[in-house]
Amino acid sequence: MLTRETVMEAVMSVLDKTFPVIHVLRGGFPLCGFSLALPEKWPPGHKWVPFQDPEARRKTSCPDCKAELEGDN
């Protein structure tokens, strides 16, 4: 039986492979706090850009990282 959770897991699995989620890394961790693991241990589809590079930060696609960046201004 399909549940909302199983459907969302399937959708996220496809999206992770299709559209990378680009996080902003500061101090070794993503601003959004989605993981405490090193980036090489992140799920497929999750990428990062350094906080110190303003040009690269514009590439972030993670809504929570974007919100954190807006809070830093």
Encode pLDDT of 38-72 as tens digits.
Answer: 999 998 889 999 999 999 999 999 999 999 999 86
Query: How confident is the model over 4-40, as pLDDT tens digits?
Result: 888 767 766 666 566 789 999 999 999 999 999 999 9
Q: Which residue type, as a one-letter code, is found at position 54? A: P
Length of the chain equals 73
Provide the Cα torsion 40, 55, 14, 6; round to 10°.
80
Q: How many Å apart are CA 19 and CA 52, to the nearest integer?
A: 24
pLDDT band at 73 (very low <50, low <70, confident <90, very high): low
Structure-token pair, residue 5: 């959770």
